[in-house]
Amino acid sequence: MLRGMMMNEPLLVTSILRHAALYHADTEIVSRTTEGPIHRYTYADAWVRAQKLANALAALGMQPGDRIGTLAWNGYRHLECYYGIGGSGMVCHTINPRLFPEQIAYIVNHAEDRLLFTDLTFVPLLEGIAQELSGLKGIVVMTDRANMPESTLPGLMCYEDLLADQPGSFDWPDLDENTACGMCYTSGTTGNPKGVLYSHRSSYLHAMAACMPDVFGLSASDVVLPVVPMFHVNAWGIPYAAPMVGAKLVFPGGKLDGASLYELFEAETVTNTAGVPTVWLALLNWLDANRKTLTSMRRIAIGGSACPPVMIQRFREMGVEVLHAWGMTETSPLGLANMPKSKHAGLSADEALALAAKQGRPICGVRFRVVDGSGNDVARDGTSFGRLLVRGSTVCSGYFGVTESPAHQMVPGWFETGDVVTMDADGYVQIVDRTKDVIKSGGEWISSIDLENIAVGHPGVQEAAAVAVPDEKWGERPVLVVVRKPDSALTREELLAVFEGKVAKWCIPDDVRFVDGLPHTATGKLLKSEIRHMVTGPEGV
Ligand code: AMP
Antiparallel, parallel or unpaired: β 361-362 and 415-423:
unpaired
> Does the pTM of the predicted model rise above 0.85?
yes
- pLDDT (0 to 100) of residue 540: 41
User: Which residue lies with its CA nearest to atom 20 of ligand 1?
Assistant: 306
CA–centroid distance, residue 443 to ligand 1 (Å): 25
**Does the beta carbon of 419 sit less than 6 angstroms from any atom of ligand 1?**
yes
Quick check: bond before 333 cis, omega within 30? yes
Atom of ligand 1 at shortest range from CA of 417: 10
**Does the beta carbon of 523 sit less than 6 angstroms from any atom of ligand 1?**
yes
Contact 215, 189 (CB under 8 A): no
Q: Decide if 366-435 and 439-536 have a common fold.
A: no
Which of 338, 361, 419 to probe ligand 1 with, by most ligand atoms within 8 A of CB? 419
Calculate mean pLDDT across residues 114-130: 97
Check pLDDT > 90 for residue 436: no
Q: What's the gap between Cα 92 and its chain centre?
A: 17
**Does the beta carbon of 305 sit less than 6 angstroms from any atom of ligand 1?**
yes
* Average predicted confidence (pLDDT) for the chain: 94
Check pLDDT > 60 for residue 177: yes
Confidence of residue 155 (pLDDT cuts 50, 70, 90): confident
Check pLDDT > 90 for residue 523: no
Which of 431, 447, 448, 529 to probe ligand 1 with, by most ligand atoms within 8 A of CB? 431
Q: What's the pLDDT tens digit per position in 134-149?
A: 899 999 999 999 999 9
Contact 202, 332 (CB under 8 A): yes
Confidence of residue 218 (pLDDT cuts 50, 70, 90): very high
Contact 458, 490 (CB under 8 A): yes
Q: What's the pLDDT tens digit per position in 267-326?
A: 999 999 999 999 999 999 999 999 999 999 999 999 999 999 999 999 999 999 999 999
Pick the CATH number of 13-329 from 3.40.50.12780, 3.30.70.20, 3.20.20.140, 2.60.120.260: 3.40.50.12780
**Does the beta carbon of 304 sit less than 6 angstroms from any atom of ligand 1?**
yes
DSSP state, 507?
G
**Does the beta carbon of 188 sit less than 6 angstroms from any atom of ligand 1?**
no
What residue ranges do the domains of the chain occupy?
13-329, 366-435, 439-536
CA–centroid distance, residue 328 to ligand 1 (Å): 6
Q: Where is pLDDT greater, at 538 or 345?
A: 345
Contact 424, 451 (CB under 8 A): no
- pLDDT (0 to 100) of residue 541: 40
Q: What's the pLDDT tens digit per position in 415-434?
A: 999 999 999 999 999 999 98
User: Which residue lies with its CA nearest to atom 4 of ligand 1?
Assistant: 328
CA–centroid distance, residue 221 to ligand 1 (Å): 30
**Does the beta carbon of 187 sit less than 6 angstroms from any atom of ligand 1?**
yes
Atom of ligand 1 at shortest range from CA of 232: 4
CA–centroid distance, residue 360 to ligand 1 (Å): 12
Query: What fold characterizes domain 366-435?
Result: Luciferase; domain 3 (2.30.38)
Helix or strand run (H / E) with residue 30: strand 28-32
Check pLDDT > 70 for residue 391: yes
**Does the beta carbon of 434 sit less than 6 angstroms from any atom of ligand 1?**
yes
Atom of ligand 1 at shortest range from CA of 523: 3
Question: Of the given ranges (33-47, 181-195, 234-248, 488-502), which has the lowest mean pLDDT?
Answer: 181-195
Check pLDDT > 50 for residue 364: yes
Contacts 24+ apart (CB under 8 A), 404-410: 408/330, 410/371, 410/375
Confidence of residue 31 (pLDDT cuts 50, 70, 90): very high
Residue 132: partners with Cβ closer than 8 Å, 6 or more residues away: 102, 105, 109
**Does the beta carbon of 217 sit less than 6 angstroms from any atom of ligand 1?**
no
Query: What fold characterizes domain 439-536?
Result: GMP Synthetase; Chain A, domain 3 (3.30.300)
Confidence of residue 403 (pLDDT cuts 50, 70, 90): confident
Share of the chain above pLDDT 70, in %: 98
The residues assigned a catalytic role are: 186, 330, 440, 445
Confidence of residue 187 (pLDDT cuts 50, 70, 90): confident
CA–centroid distance, residue 230 to ligand 1 (Å): 17
